[in-house]
Structures are given as structure tokens and as C-alpha cells.
Structure 1
Amino acid sequence: MVAKDNKTNFPYQFSQNTQSSPEKIAFTFLKDNQELIDISYAELMKKISGVSRVILESTKPGEPIVLLYSSGVNFIVAFIACLFTDRLAIPAYPPINCSAVTRLENIIKSAKPALILSEELILKNLKKIPYIKYLLFPYVKKRVLRSFHVPENIGFLFEKVSRMIATDALTDEKIYTDFNNIKGCAFIQYTSGTTASPKGVMISHENIAHNLHLIREAFNIHSESKGFIWLPPYHDMGLIGGILVPLYHRFPVILTSPLNFIKNPNIWLESISKYRATISGGPNFAYNLCNQRTREELLSTLDLSSWEIAFCGAEPIHAETMNRFVQKFKPCGFKPSALVPCYGNAESTLIVSSTHHDEDLKVVSVNREGLSNGQVILSDSPGSIQVVDCGRPLMNVKIASTETGEFLAENQVGEILISGYSVTSGYWNNPEKTASTFKKAVDGDRYYHSGDVGFLVDGKLFITGRINDLIIIGGCNYFAHEIESIVNSCSPEIRSGATVAYDASIGGANQLFLAVEVKHEKMEHYADLTRQILLAVNKNLGISAQEIFLLKPHTILKTTSGKLQRRQTAQFIVDHPEQILYRYSNQLEQHERTPGNFSKQQEVNEISHRKRTSTEIESALIDLINENFSQLLTCKPNTLLTSLGLDSIMYIKLLSSLKQKLLIDFEVTDLLVDKNQTVHTLALEIARLAQVRKRIQRLDELPKIQNLLARHAQLVDHKYDSLFMRAFDGPSDSTLILDGKTYLNFASYNYLGLSNTPGMKEFIKTQIDRYGSSVSASRLVAGNRILTEQLEHELAAFVGYPDAIVYTAGYQTVISTITHLFGQGDAIIYDELAHNSSLLGSYYSGAELHTFKHNNPDSLEEKLKILADKFEKVLIITEGVFSMDGDIAPLDKIIALKKKYGCFLMVDEAHSLGVIGETGRGIIEYYKQSPQDVDIVLGTLSKAFASCGGFVCASKQLIQYMKFSAPGFVFSAGISPANSAAALYALSCIKENPQFMQQMQQNADYFLGQLTALGLNTGSSRHTPIVPIIIKDSNKTIEASYRLFCQGIYAPPIIAPGVTEDQARIRFFITALHQREQFDFCVNKLTEIMTLLK
């Protein structure tokens, strides 16, 4: 045990090393050009002293300091200087991209640092910019990004931290340290997960000293030890294991940037061989990269005989990876005993357990079923799980029941609990998380409850996973019960609550497996049912199942309380194949290109440009599909690709296999737009792309343009083109004039009928006389007007927000807002029926996208359970009134979930402001909620406000930020005076004349009641002016709309591909101007075409 005094802490020991061996090389830094930079202990101490002096002048003892450095000498100097001056160092990734900045912003919000230390390269350009908002100008932004590596969302640094100092050139001869006063917390290690609430682990000087001694014992560090480290210094393995260990125990180490390893993984092994390193290591993925990328010609040049400790940790260790590494590099002198699997975490400073430095890799095969039952049964039987030995615990480690908390004996599986001097005190500024994670166990002692699951065998620790039972497919997490719920709802033939979802590794990648009990043993239905399951999972989650087992009733295993036993069931199926009624297996493989065969590939590329007929392509597609999906259906030219349940990856594999099979060349991504096509139409499209791609010289020859023109020609043939893009005469009231004929108008958003009133027109004319027809500039410069600002102030006050911003168009408003406030590192969850502008804005933002079922809070919560703690920011998007269905979002329940999971909420009120709520103030008023609970309200001015444009209501700070930085606002001319005036007048009418909204609502209720009485499907429309007739057939829908048009009623059709076929409809917009006799006339004409409507 390390003595609890200051003479064992890092600053004291480092100082002693400097005094005894000032000229000894402390470390060597290997630059990306292979240049070596040696730094002696004396040189390092001078640099540390220079930074220490600045820290002492700028901060108080115990204050946090964020370190923003590239990987190298400057970071090490600043970190040790913080330790020497009793300040809390906070290592952070340098702000070289927007994702890193978002994470940094969360760290700064949590830590509230007194100072930022960094480098000239990072701070140089920032100090020239008084307000980061000016980064929006392209020439500045490009210069900053290219020359100084500073992303555009770095601006918060100016708001959150007042002092930033570059330390590159600081030195001093004097040592500014009082070793007697160095105590308590040394630094804050923010864990690597990208969460909305980052956890800052408080690591003390005592923790560090204790763990450094544990590592010396575990790794057998001696006078001839020499390290090579490429790990990031911002996290515990690279910082403590790679930097502090050699500096504390005074042995040489060569450091290099992790970017050098990522660019060229071979640099790791080449450097160990060249510089004769004895200690080096990394996570499992690094060893796997070496397995994959080290070619035979390099093996003959490597000498790894000096490598004594090849530590591996920080992520799950795979037995297959370790065994392959040993076998591959053993001929290079690598000793099997050098491989040292470890287990650790930041909450325990770094290392918790490690195998002995002179024993070979140990892997145990454990019975899967026993493991699922919490028992370790060693077994070499097929289906057993291989688990890597992580060595004997170096601290007090207990295995505890996840249900009762009782300590378990060896060969039993439970949560790993850790106690000892290396276990930290908790999380910075997070007492709730600290209390729930660092707590007393049944013996009364305080333990870190790790959330990791494992077991002990012969005193050695084995890790099996995490407590949460997640299924990970393609790097994404899915809850098993979510997948099971989707499958259970597929068909009445599936037994309720008798589906299990689980994953298994196939070819090194996790794949989804489904076991499903069916009610009746009807062989002829199995392929159909399997296809339904594939389609449902693919539609809802975008993934595909590798295997599906249809089982006899009562095969699925459950506990006595009815809980599904997933892993036990998986093993039971293997052991009892007689319970399987039908088995589906996806065999689609993508052939990998042989590395290095460039001349052959060039030959292929030349051949690929010869023409292939659509018939040849169609035949090849059918062969490929039948080879891989013959269990589900026999593919024919008219088979829909969606009937195969292909996810995007499988779709790409199919098309890639086709390219290789026929030696043709086309862009796969051009065919990802529409999977809702037949094999025949896909073959035609591929043939067209493969033949003309390299010969297109005019944009109007593009296939997508030709396809649209062909579809329009079909409309012309049936005279349906009269329903679209007609130039009407007169205003958009309850009637329209076309070619001198009057039509009833059910296609107008003029809900309150204000756009053509005498008062409206007079007010607009007055404002045009004052302001002219256009503002003729961006509002940031000369395009701002008093009239526009008045509109913004009154809009904000009407909706209940401090401020508002007005754009020239509603579509532009939504896209600009989403893309400017959210991006990589964030998640956006939107209602599946959200407007196209929300979908496109979310897509363009670069955030990870997810949908929830329409107006379904349960579906939203299922997504939030998975996503809320995994992203920097999570945005929920919904609408007040949905423009396609005329239904209202359950905002009260969405707000409750927003608060519960700490997310942001954006509501599109385009069709709800001026339409619902007691005084027309939209959905927030409708549900009697507080505007403070909705972060962003936005909408358009073209509906109830009888104008054109868009607006955002939010906090004053957010609106100010957008006015000075949102590209869609800054680089666009301001809204015209006429449109500002129209919206301002409409707003005053809404406030002063509630009868407009009341009349509209009465009209909508009347018309909806008439349609309901006819037995027509009006969907979920209630209390809104949007009333659809859902026909579920595009051909019938367009014909019905055309017949109404011929009778003088204009109600345009909504058909595929604008909506799915089963949602084809005629949509009626109701206004305050409509009269009862107009509704009655329309209903009368609808009765004449009832055969088309039902």
C-alpha cells in the first residue's frame, strides 16, 4: 500500500527525478515527419515553471483549468504545471472540428473553468475576432478553418471563459511549488462517452500515486524499461499510462500523436521494432487493425523481441483478436507472454486488474446458457462463449448480484464493484450521480459500482459486458424489447409476448437474430410471415435480421415472473432444433476486392463501360435475389424490392454484387433514393445510368429530369395536368377564377380570410408608400426596417417569447434554424409525419436522425431512453397542427418527456398559430402549457397571417445569435415591406377580432361532420381547418379530384410518391370565408363519386 503522504505524489517524485537526473531524457516526441524531439527533465521543468507562474498569477488554488492542446510537449507541460500549482487540470480534445467543440462546450458548462490554456496555433485567430459571429462570412471562415483549425461553433468560448492564454514559449528558472500544500483533487477526467451531461471524474493526487505504483507492479517496470505510446493524452490510458507512468518511474518513452497511428497503424509496430520499446499497448481495435493491415512484406522487417508488455484495455477484449495477433506476430519475435489484457476505468484512476507479465494469454470457453443464468460453467461445446482473462484484481474487487446487491462467490456473474485508494471521490458538480455510483455495499464499505458485468475464476477477473442488455447492430444500439414489440405487432399469427431478439457475431460483425413463436403450424404461411417481420423491422428501425426462427408454441423460455430469457432461448433453439418450424437465413454476401490487384481492376473498369441491356441486368438481379432470398419468394420482374425487407447496407451489397457480376459501372448512391420499385424498373434505371453517365452534357438529360417529364406526360394524357400549376386569376378567397370560370377553392391556407380585406390592402399600400417595394439588402446591413422589427416584437409577445426573428420564407426558416443550431454529435428525433423542411433541415445538419411514430409519446420515450445520454444535444421536433392529417400533437406529453430526458424541443406552428388555442396563440395555449418549456417555436406567415415569410420565437440571446450568424438570414434579403405589413395587420386582426377564428372553426367542424356522416375516411382530423378524405389509392384519388374539378371544385390530390400509397388522399383547407351552401354543394358532388372515395 502506498503511504498517504505528499512524498509519494507525482509533483514531488517528478521534482526528485529532475534534481537527480536533470540531463536525462524525460521523453522523446516523434513528429509526423519522423523527426525526433528530445526533452530532458531540466528542460521540461523550465517549461513547467514558466506555465506555473502564469497559472499562479491568473487563478486561485483549486480552480479548474481547461487544457486545449494538440498532442505533444505543450500539453504535457501545462498538465504538470497544474499539478504543481494545485489547480484542477481538465484535459480536453483540441477544438479542431465541430464535434469536438460541442463536447468541449458541455465540459465547460459542467466544469466552469477559471482559465483556458492552449497554443498559439489555436488561439491566434480567435484573438483577432471580437465576436465569433463574424465567422459566418465565408472568406473569414475558410481562412480560420484552413489556417488555424478553428471551427465555427467555437464562439461560446468567448461567452463562457474570459481568459485564454497560449503557453508555447513560457519558461522560468524558478520552481513555483509548495509540495506541502499539494493535496486533494489533482485533475478532472471527463469520460469519453458523448453524453448530454458529461461526467467529470475527480482524480486526486493520492489516486494517481496509488495507481502509478499498481502499474509498476503489474507491468514489472525496471531500469531498462522503455515505452512507445501513441494513445491520446486526453484520456486516462494515454495520460496516466502513457505519460505519467514513465515520468514518475523515470524510464524513457517515445510519444507520438494518435493521428499518426490512425493514418498509418504500422507506425506502432515499426517504432517498437526500431526504437526497441519494451512497454506499449492500446485498445482491442488497435491490435485488430494490425491484424488486418500489416502485410507479409512488412512482417519480415519487424523485430518485436524487445516488447515485454503489450497491454490491452479500454474496450471489450476479443479472444479472436488476441489469438490472431499472437499467431501473426510470433514469427517477428513477439512473445505470447507479452500480451497483457487489463481492466480499468477512469473512476478507478486507470488500472484495476492485469494479467501477470510472464504468463501466456488465457481464454476460457464458457457455456452460454450458464452465463445467462449467472453461472460460469467452463465448456468447449459448440456455441460456448470465449472470454479473455483480465488478470488478478490489483484492488479490492467484488462481484455483486445486480438484483440484491449481495456479494457472489467465484464462478457467478454479477456487477463489478471496486474499492481502494485508486477509487476516486466522485463526479465534479454532480452529487446525484456520485451518490448513485459511489455507494456502500452490503459490507458497509464504499465501492464504485461500475455497471460492468463479469466473474472471478481462480481469483482472476473476466469481463462479459454491461448491465444494460443492448443489441448493437452497425454501431447503433437497439433495445431488445423495442425490436420484439415491432415483431409482435406484425401479424395475429404471432403469439403475444413470445418473441425474443438477440445479437450474435457473424464474421466479426454483430447481427440481429429473432426467435418468434407462431400460433398455428401452417407451412404455407411461413415465408409470408417471415417477409412481414423483415419488412416491419426494416421499416421501423432500418436494419435487417440475419436469421429468423419461427418456433412451436411454448418454446420461448421465461422466468417464473414472465420475463423473457433471451440468451437462454437462443441456446435452447440450438440444442432443440425440433422446435423450429421454419428458418430464414440471409446469405447475401458482398465480395471483397483483393488488395493490390490494380492492373486487373483497371482491366475491369475498361470492360465495365460496354453497354449492358436492361434485360441482361434484370436477369442478373433476379438470379442474385433468388440465390439469397429464395426462402421468402420467387423473384420476378414485377417483384417489389421493398418486399425483400432490405436495409440500406443489404441494398448496397446487392447492387455492388450486381456491378461485380456484370462488370458494369454506375453510382450505387443514385439508386438509394427509391427502394419502392420493381426489379424491372430498377434494371431500366441501372441500364440508363450505366450507359449514359459519362455522356451527359446537358442538365435536362439527367435521368431524374427525364423521369419527371415522363410522369408529367402521363398526367397530360389523362388531362390531370389541369390540377397542378394552374395560373388562377384574382385573390385566394373561398373561390378562384380560372379561364373566366369560378371554382370553389379548398386549396388555400388563407384560414382566417384576411388576405383580401379592404383594411389589409389599405394598410399594405400605406406601408409601401413609406418603405417601397423591397428592402433591397440583407437585414444585417441596410435591409432592416422599423416595420419588420415591429412585426418581430409583436409576434414574440403574441406567442409568449422574449424575441423573434423573421425570414423571407417558411421553408428557409426551418432549414436555417435546424442546421445552424444542431450538427454532428447531436441527435434529432422527429415525428414521422413532420414537414419536409424539418426532415431536410435535420438531414443537412449532420446530426444523427431518428423518428418516432406519429403523435405517439410512448414511441418517443422508447427512442429517448436510448439516445438521451449518448449525445451532446438531443432535439425533438413536432408540429402544432399537421398539414397532411389535420391532427394536433400531444404537446403536453411531449413536454413532459422533454423535461424528463433533458432534451430540446422545437414546435412548427405553421398551421396552428391563429388557428387553435382560445385566442389563436397556437398549441402552447391549446394545452395551457408554458412557452418556457418549448425552446423554439417557428412557423410561416402564409397561413393565418395572410402574408409570406417565416419566423422563429425563442430567447433573446438565441434570436440575437441567429440574427448575426444564421446563413439563411444573413445571406438573404430581408422580408419585403408588403409582406411585413400584411403579417402585422393580420396579427392585429387575430388579437382584436376572435370571430374570424371562431367562424373558421365552425366551418371546419361542419364540413368534417358532413364527411363523417357519409362514412368517408377523414383520418385523425379534429378541431382544425385541414380535413382529408383518405382514399388509399393514387389512381382513384387523382380521378376523384379531377371529377370535382370538372364540377367547379378545386381540391388537389395528394398521391404517391408524395405519400405512401395507403395514404393517398384529397385534402380540403377550410377558411372563415367558406359558406354553408358551398360545403353542401361540395358534399353533394362527393356523393356522386362515392365509388372512388371508399
Structure 2
Amino acid sequence: MQATGSSHALALRRADFPTLKEALDYAAQGTTGVNFYNARGEVYASSTYADLQQDAIALARRLLGLGLEPGARVALVAETSLHFVRFFWACQYAGLVPVPLPATMHIGGHAGYVAQLRGLIENCGASVAMAPAEWMPFLEEAKADIDLTFVGTPEDYDELVSASQDLPEIAPDSIAYIQYTSGSTRFPRGVVIDQATVLANIQDMSTHGLKMTPEDRFGSWLPFYHDMGLVAFIMMPMATQRSVDFLGTQDFAMRPRKWLEMMSANRTTITSGPPFGYDLAAMRVRPSDAEKWDLSALRVACVGAEMINPEPLQRFAEALAPAGFKSTAFLPCYGMAECSLGISFAGLDEELKIDYVDAENMQHENVAEPLNPEAALKEKRRVARYVDCGALLPSFDIAIRDEDGNDLPERRAGVVHLRGPSVMSRYFREEAMTRETLSADGWLNTGDIGYMADGRLFVTGRKKDMIIIHGRNIWPEDLEYIAKTQPGVNYTDAAAFSVPSEKDQQETAVLVVQCRERDEIKRARLVKTIASLVRSEYGIDCIIELVPTRTLPRTSSGKLARARARLDFLGRRRAAGVEVKPEAIDTAPVDHDRAPIRNIA
């Protein structure tokens, strides 16, 4: 099967459309499209945007034949396949709301995955659901006792009778999709993105962040249920009439070299991934491989989705230099689903820029005092380093604020607040959470910690409370819930967060649990049980630390202060001279007479 070409006579338009449907109508006048590669590096499915438009319209009529109301939610298990893309665009023509569901399950995670699907289907109030045949058993199990109009495989939907009515008019302020921001089974958060909202972001990114040209071609392995995979590689290529090549996420994990081969063969110019993805690929590259590939066309390799650590990028650049890869192709960026996707981009054709600051000053005073790393080493001063995430896209306003909402000057770290046309309208069916996050005048509290310097954004901490392990979003409430299911652990006794390993700076999950038990055998059993449950449900290792009661810090209103709990944990580790290791499971000694640790943040 032949992949679609990279260019055509159709004039480049950078997402200047009122709706996604109209963007596809324009792209369908050209010859570019989407291509899917298997683990052997072969194209197994391909469609021009012209064919995709016709398929989507036909499927939209069949969906409407089910009698669905305008704005009804369509739950889609987002496997990397042409089926998902076809359904996503069919929803745009039918006036329905696609809701991507994860298509990933970790070892021992059958029950957890089914619970996750069920929670998301219930939360979004889906009317129908679709899964490819291999995922259908999980969907069938998840939807038990949920009243859905129709559930089936893509082939089942293709057998439906088409509606006789005309396709509806789509308004720019109608919902384009709902994006769930985490893999949470118990606390799902659905970001509502309107048509005009996502198109404004794509226009901003393609014009100012990526500076796209008529010669650009996309290549990706990112999952479709992730905001970067969905917006940057399904919507953006179509809205700018570019071809895009996909390798399945699981195929990438098993054979990351196929991603590089695919980009070499297609002269890919734009790709993206988290640092661990570049690192995984670099580890599998042999010098003889790199010499056979040609990555000289790759002008943009976006880096996002987690805190940016420069070492993996340096390893990738060194390993792929014989293939013509240029380190200046790396483009650090900052984004989040609540802003559609992109927020800030470093400069094109620039080397990574790192800000070295006094770590003690940052930790205790939230001041990013610049340091010369060599001089700091001689003076035995601890250095923190942060990668430059670049200037904000022009449509965004930014404010760095302290805990009381006061604006902070340059080089003072605080909570990043944003405002602009790309910001979500709300969280789905979560009025209280929306009010907490989005002010009446449009300011979004991102929960991320950062500072501005010379007009550039430096992100110093994760989105508030979010745990990100190898690109996977895990809400701390889910890990804490596991601890709280154990006998003797009360509702307020657990705090979850992540910390970097001292060895390789990869993130490690931590659960600090207040424990009243004195018996060492029972304490060890509690640690082992919690760690085993976390591994079974989420497929990750987790450090479990047992601490005395009244150890976990609280805010003045009594809420758990996870950021301060994290600093306290790191302080205890440094004082004890213990290295943080992903596989470590530690039990702190109980001292029932010990006073609570003083907050240091």
C-alpha cells in the first residue's frame, strides 16, 4: 500500500477555519492524508483527506440513524488506527462529541483498565461506545449495567442504517471533543474543548511555534487519547493540509527504531515526544543503523509531556548524528489539555537553553537566583537547573502568582496562570472544579509552578499534584485511595507525589503513609501490600514510606499540602543519606513522641 504524498497544489492554510468540519472540507480538496505503519515498518492503512471526508460523512449518517441527540457523547477506545480517526471526524460532521478512551493495559491491570473505562463512560454520559475487535471484550465488561444506545466494533457500526435527515450545521462555539486529562479511575476530569478553541490553538502553534511550511510532514507514535497525540497529530496535520504517518504506541515501545525508520523513509519534518521516548529510541540504535537512515529533514522534534531533562536529548542527538539529525531540531515546549495543547515554544534552530539557579534559594524563598555552575561547585552550593520552555504563543496572557493570588516579578517562582482563546470552557459536569480552576474573567490556574525570565517561561514543578511516570498521568488521589483501603489507614493518612531519582533524574512515585502500628512484621506487610496493589493496578513501582501520625502537612484550611509533604520527604532522605531509587521500598522508623516536621516551603 502506498503512503500519501507530502505536498500538493492546495494552498497552505494554517487552521483559519470556524470549525474542524470545514477544515476537513478544505483539506479534502488536496491529495495529502493519513498513513498507518505496522511493527514491520509497512503501511497497512492509508487514506487521503478526500477519502476520509467521504467515509466520515457516511459514518456520521449512520450514527445519526441511531437517533442520537445533538451533542451526545461517543466513547471511542483510541487505538492507533484509521478506525479512530474515521470516527473522530464522523462525530464532527454529525454534531456529536467524541470522547477518546485509553487503549493501554499494563501487566496485571485487567481489572484496573476495565474500571477506568467504566468510570470514563459513566462520567461523560456516553450514548454509544466503539472499540476495535481486540479491545471489545474489555469494553463489553466495562459497560455492563450502563444504559447505552449502541456498543460495537467499527464493523458493527458500518452495518447500521443511515439517517435520512441532513447533517446538522456546526457552530464554532459547539463542543469539538472531551479530553480526559488523566488515567484516573475514581476522579476523572474531562476537559471540554470547543471548535473555535482548538482551532485557535492550532493556528497559533502552526504559525508561531512551528512556523509550518508547505513541505512539512508529520510523524508520530503518541497515543490518540493523549492531548499531544490527538491535537498535534490528528487535528493539526489535517487543519494545515499535511500528511501524517503513525506508528502504534505499543509497536514503538517494542521496536522504537521503527519510528526512526519511518521518519527516514518519509522525510519527516515534525515529530514530538516526551524525553523518555527519545531516550528509549537512542538506547536501541546501533551506529550501523544510524548510518543507513536520513533524518536531515527533521527540523522540529518537540519535547514535552513531562519535566524536561536534557540528558536523554543529548544521548539521542549523539546517537542519531550519523543519520543527519541536528540537536537544534529539539524544540522544548509547554502545554496542557486545558489549553487545547500548546502554550509556549522555545526558538526554532536553537540549542537547548538551561537556567542554572541556587537550589536553596529556590526551595526556601522561591527565587530563581542565577548561578555559574562551575563557581557554585567550588563554593559547594547546590544548583537547580531548568530548561527554557520559550516564549508564550501570542494569544496567551500569563501571570505568575503566589498562594494569595498576588502577581510576582521576574525570577520569582509561583503558580502559572494563563488566559487566552485556547483555554477550555470548563470541566465536564464538574462545576465546583471549574470554579476552582477557571476564574470568571478567564484566568486558568494551571497548578504548575514556574517563573519568567527575559520573557521566557521556566517550569519548575509539575501540574499541581499530578504524577507523571514515563509520560503516564496518574492522579495522587488514586494512589492515596489504595493506601486508605488498608486496615488502620484513615482517610487523611496518605500523601502521594513523585520525586526524581538521584541517579538518573527519572520520576519515581512515592506514597507517604501515617502509621499507628508498632509491630514491625505488620508494618512490613502493610508496605508490601500497598506496593503490590499499586504495581498491579498502575504497572509502576512506588516508594512506600511509613511515618508517625501528625507528620503530613496541612494548609490553613486543613487540606493536604502535597508539595510540602514532598519537600519534607526529600529532606528526610537527605538527612539520612538515602538515595531515591525507583525500586526502593522504605519503612521509616516510628517515633510516636516525635513532633510534626516543620514545613519548609
> TM-score per shorter chain, which class?
0.7 to 0.9
- Residues 131, 154 of structure 2: 8 Å contact kept: yes
Q: 1:86 & 1:367 partners in 2: Cα distance?
A: 53
Letter in 1 for 2:49: Y
- Residues 172, 194 of structure 2: 8 Å contact kept: no
2:310 corresponds to which residue? Answer: 319
- Cα gap change, 1:328/1:187 in structure 2, threshold over 3 Å: closer, same or farther? same
2:46 aligned with 1:38, yes or no? yes
Residue correspondence of structure 1 range 770-781 to structure 2 within 5 A: none
Picking from 449, 454, 467, the partner of 2:450 is 454
Residue correspondence of structure 1 range 652-801 to structure 2 within 5 A: none
Moved more, 535-544 or 275-284: 535-544
2:35 aligned with 1:28, yes or no? yes
Picking from 250, 253, 263, the partner of 1:262 is 253
Q: 1:193 & 1:208 partners in 2: Cα distance?
A: 22
Other structure's SS at 1:291 match: helix
- Residues 25, 38 of structure 1: 8 Å contact kept: no
Picking from 163, 175, 193, the partner of 2:150 is 163
Q: 2:113 & 2:580 partners in 1: Cα distance?
A: 37
Query: Greater relative contact order (Cα 8 A, min sep 6): structure 1 or 2?
Result: 2
Other structure's SS at 1:186 match: strand
- Cα gap change, 1:170/1:43 in structure 2, threshold over 3 Å: closer, same or farther? farther
1:246 corresponds to which residue? Answer: 237
Picking from 89, 111, 115, the partner of 2:128 is 115
1:209 corresponds to which residue? Answer: 199
Other structure's SS at 2:427 match: coil
- Residues 108, 160 of structure 1: 8 Å contact kept: no
Q: 1:9, CA displacement in angstroms?
A: 2.1
Q: 1:512 & 1:541 partners in 2: Cα distance?
A: 14
Other structure's SS at 2:271 match: strand
- Cα gap change, 1:163/1:478 in structure 2, threshold over 3 Å: closer, same or farther? closer
Q: 1:321, CA displacement in angstroms?
A: 2.1
Picking from 346, 354, 369, the partner of 1:377 is 369
Deviations 1:298-342 (A, max 9, x none): 232232211111011111111222233333333331112210111
1:76 corresponds to which residue? Answer: 85
1:144 corresponds to which residue? Answer: none
Other structure's SS at 1:341 match: strand
Give the total of aligned pairs.
498
- Residues 399, 414 of structure 1: 8 Å contact kept: no
Q: 1:156, CA displacement in angstroms?
A: 3.0
Deviations 1:438-486 (A, max 9, x none): 115xxxx32111111011111111111137689999999999xx9xxxx
Q: 2:188 & 2:254 partners in 1: Cα distance?
A: 29
Letter in 2 for 1:460: R
Q: 1:153, CA displacement in angstroms?
A: 7.2
Q: 1:426 & 1:161 partners in 2: Cα distance?
A: 25
- Residues 84, 182 of structure 1: 8 Å contact kept: no
2:65 aligned with 1:57, yes or no? yes
Deviations 1:784-821 (A, max 9, x none): xxxxxxxxxxxxxxxxxxxxxxxxxxxxxxxxxxxxxx
Q: 1:400, CA displacement in angstroms?
A: 3.2
- Residues 6, 180 of structure 1: 8 Å contact kept: no
- Cα gap change, 1:305/1:183 in structure 2, threshold over 3 Å: closer, same or farther? same
2:190 corresponds to which residue? Answer: 200
2:137 aligned with 1:150, yes or no? yes
Letter in 2 for 1:353: S
- Residues 28, 39 of structure 1: 8 Å contact kept: yes
Other structure's SS at 1:224 match: coil
- Cα gap change, 1:565/1:280 in structure 2, threshold over 3 Å: closer, same or farther? closer
Q: 2:499 & 2:80 partners in 1: Cα distance?
A: 38
- Residues 366, 414 of structure 2: 8 Å contact kept: yes
Q: 1:50 & 1:545 partners in 2: Cα distance?
A: 48
2:19 aligned with 1:9, yes or no? yes
1:279 corresponds to which residue? Answer: 270
**Higher CA-based Rg:** 1
Other structure's SS at 1:281 match: strand
- Residues 573, 579 of structure 2: 8 Å contact kept: no
Deviations 1:74-94 (A, max 9, x none): 110110111112111111134
Q: 1:352 & 1:268 partners in 2: Cα distance?
A: 26
1:593 corresponds to which residue? Answer: none
2:96 aligned with 1:106, yes or no? no
Q: 1:572 & 1:159 partners in 2: Cα distance?
A: 47
Q: 1:200 & 1:545 partners in 2: Cα distance?
A: 26
2:497 aligned with 1:505, yes or no? no
Q: 1:472 & 1:207 partners in 2: Cα distance?
A: 26
Q: 1:252, CA displacement in angstroms?
A: 1.2
Other structure's SS at 1:387 match: strand
1:89 corresponds to which residue? Answer: 98
Q: 2:48 & 2:195 partners in 1: Cα distance?
A: 24
- Cα gap change, 1:503/1:61 in structure 2, threshold over 3 Å: closer, same or farther? closer
2:176 corresponds to which residue? Answer: 186
Q: 1:511, CA displacement in angstroms?
A: 8.3
Q: 1:177, CA displacement in angstroms?
A: 4.0
- Residues 229, 256 of structure 1: 8 Å contact kept: yes
Structure 1: segments with no counterpart, 5+ residues:
123-147, 483-500, 514-531, 547-562, 575-582, 590-646, 652-849, 857-1094
2:428 corresponds to which residue? Answer: 428
Residue correspondence of structure 1 range 397-412 to structure 2 within 5 A: 397-412=397-412
Q: 1:285 & 1:311 partners in 2: Cα distance?
A: 13
Deviations 1:853-910 (A, max 9, x none): 9xx9xxxxxxxxxxxxxxxxxxxxxxxxxxxxxxxxxxxxxxxxxxxxxxxxxxxxxx
TM-score by length of 2: 0.73
Other structure's SS at 1:455 match: strand
Q: 2:525 & 2:65 partners in 1: Cα distance?
A: 60
Letter in 1 for 2:141: I
Other structure's SS at 2:351 match: coil
Letter in 2 for 1:458: D
Q: 1:237, CA displacement in angstroms?
A: 0.6
**Higher helix content, 1 or 2:** 1
- Residues 500, 508 of structure 2: 8 Å contact kept: yes
Other structure's SS at 1:89 match: strand
- Cα gap change, 1:239/1:175 in structure 2, threshold over 3 Å: closer, same or farther? farther
Other structure's SS at 1:66 match: strand
- Residues 588, 650 of structure 1: 8 Å contact kept: no
Q: 1:64 & 1:565 partners in 2: Cα distance?
A: 39
Letter in 1 for 2:422: S
- Residues 6, 182 of structure 1: 8 Å contact kept: no
Structure 2: segments with no counterpart, 5+ residues:
1-12, 481-496, 511-517, 532-540, 544-560, 593-601
- Residues 95, 151 of structure 1: 8 Å contact kept: no
- Residues 400, 451 of structure 2: 8 Å contact kept: no
- Cα gap change, 1:176/1:213 in structure 2, threshold over 3 Å: closer, same or farther? farther
- Cα gap change, 1:506/1:118 in structure 2, threshold over 3 Å: closer, same or farther? closer
Q: 1:220, CA displacement in angstroms?
A: 1.6
Deviations 1:922-964 (A, max 9, x none): xxxxxxxxxxxxxxxxxxxxxxxxxxxxxxxxxxxxxxxxxxx
Letter in 2 for 1:41: Y
- Cα gap change, 1:323/1:207 in structure 2, threshold over 3 Å: closer, same or farther? same
Q: 1:6 & 1:177 partners in 2: Cα distance?
A: 22
- Cα gap change, 1:512/1:196 in structure 2, threshold over 3 Å: closer, same or farther? closer
**Please, what is the CA RMSD of the aligned residues?**
4.2
- Residues 11, 179 of structure 1: 8 Å contact kept: no
Q: 1:539, CA displacement in angstroms?
A: 7.7
Identity among equivalent positions (%) equals 25
2:392 corresponds to which residue? Answer: 393
Residue correspondence of structure 1 range 436-475 to structure 2 within 5 A: 436-440=436-440, 445-466=441-462
Q: 1:182 & 1:360 partners in 2: Cα distance?
A: 39
Residue correspondence of structure 1 range 121-136 to structure 2 within 5 A: 121=133
Letter in 1 for 2:38: K
1:671 corresponds to which residue? Answer: none
Q: 2:332 & 2:295 partners in 1: Cα distance?
A: 18
Other structure's SS at 2:356 match: strand
Residue correspondence of structure 1 range 814-893 to structure 2 within 5 A: none
- Cα gap change, 1:325/1:537 in structure 2, threshold over 3 Å: closer, same or farther? farther
